[in-house]
Amino acid sequence: MTEKIIPKEHERRFVPDMDKLPFSSFLFPAVSIHQGYLEDELMTRVRDECDLSSAKHTYSMTRKTGEGVSRDEDEKEITMKEFYSMWDKAKNCSLSKNRFFVIHDGIKVQVNYYDGKLLGYFQIEVEFDSHEEAVAFIPPVWLGREVTDDSQHGNYSLAKFGKPE
Q: Any idea which residues carry the catalytic annotation? A: 37
Q: Which residues in 22-157 belong to E strands, given as ranges?
A: 30-37, 45-51, 57-65, 70-78, 94-104, 107-114, 122-128, 145-146
The answer to whether 97 touches 118, Cβ cutoff 8 Å, is yes
What is the C-alpha end-to-end distance of the chain, expressed in Å?
48
159 — phi, psi (to 5°)?
-65, -40
- Give how far Cα 121 sits from Cα of 8, 35, 44, 83, 117, Å: 27, 16, 23, 26, 9
